């Protein structure tokens, strides 16, 4: 089966199972940016606590966050792990957003390139911001996506997998958001477990 047909079938199956995920949970585009940094190698539940801490201190905007001391940030986001790195990354990116308030209005390719040039922002984090904060079409490839693709027999590095997804499904922001969210939900439940046999994409002992 070709990639396009396979990925379309997987989408339909996941949507049928999980429905609309309404992603990304955030009250503002900047909150998505903050969440994208904090969620690196961390469970979302811990990110939520840190975001609550920042909101309680009225720091959920670029200007306020950029003016906050690194040590204070470390305490507020400690629960997300890697707090020394992340506090510096947060301060760095919020300073950039404070100086460039219209950055999210740029074309997705230019925006992505700009974001990746910032310290602490790699491909996945940049794409998450482009898609969920700026609302522009860039498919996010995360660890779950790589694992799922590997099981489906679709191989490639980040850029290759992104190209496969973007050429297989309609270039549509809502579709990109929904598909990635569905893969995460699927991944949380079925990937990394020792019982792959329960995977909803498996039939007769093998992936479709």
Choose, by CB under 7 A, the member of 184, 186, 190, 201 that binds DNA. 184
Stretch that binds DNA, among 9-17, 54-62, 63-71, 116-124 (CB under 7 A): 116-124
Query: What is the per-residue binding string for DNA in 152-171, x denoting contact by CB under 7 A?
Result: -----x--------------
Virtual CA dihedral for 181, 183, 186, 192, nearest 10 degrees? -120
Residues 13-52 within binding reach of DNA (CB under 7 A): 23-25, 35-36, 39-46
The torsion of the CA quartet 165, 169, 170, 173, rounded to 10 degrees, works out to -50
The three-state secondary structure class of 206 is strand
Does residue 108 touch DNA according to CB under 7 A? no
Q: Restricting to residues 57-86, name those near DNA by CB under 7 A.
A: 78-79, 81-85
Pick 119 or 167: Cβ nearer DNA? 119
Q: From 6, 40, 43, 14, select the one nearest 151 (Cα to Cα).
A: 6
How many residues touch DNA (CB under 7 A)?
Answer: 41
Phi-psi region of 31 (alpha: psi -120 to 50; beta: other; left: phi over 0): alpha
Q: How far is the CB of 159 from DNA (least distance, A)?
A: 10
Q: In which residue are the tokens 């079938």 written?
A: 9
| Count of Cβ atoms closer than 10 Å to residue 109 Cβ | 11
Residues at the interface with DNA (CB under 7 A) = 23-25, 35-36, 39-46, 78-79, 81-85, 116, 118-126, 128, 132, 142-144, 157, 184, 187-188, 191-192
């Amino acid at each position: 089966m070709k990639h396009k047909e396979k990925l379309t079938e997987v989408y339909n199956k996941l949507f049928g199972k999980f429905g609309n995920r309404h992603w990304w949970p955030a009250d503002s585009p900047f909150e998505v940016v903050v969440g994208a940094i904090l969620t690196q190698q961390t469970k979302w539940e811990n990110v939520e606590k840190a975001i609550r801490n920042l909101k309680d201190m009225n720091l959920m905007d670029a200007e306020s966050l950029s003016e906050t001391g690194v040590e204070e940030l470390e305490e507020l986001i400690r629960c997300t792990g890697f707090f020394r790195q992340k506090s510096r990354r947060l301060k760095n990116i919020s300073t950039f957003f404070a100086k460039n308030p219209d950055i999210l209005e740029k074309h997705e390719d230019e925006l992505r390139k700009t974001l990746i040039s910032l310290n602490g922002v790699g491909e996945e984090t940049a794409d998450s911001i482009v898609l969920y904060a700026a609302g522009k079409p860039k498919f996010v490839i995360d660890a779950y996506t790589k694992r799922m693709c590997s099981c489906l027999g679709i191989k490639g590095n980040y850029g290759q997998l992104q190209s496969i997804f973007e050429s297989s499904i309609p270039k549509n922001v809502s579709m990109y958001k929904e598909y990635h969210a569905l893969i995460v939900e699927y991944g949380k439940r079925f990937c990394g477990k020792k019982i792959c046999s329960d995977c909803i994409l498996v039939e007769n002992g093998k992936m479709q």
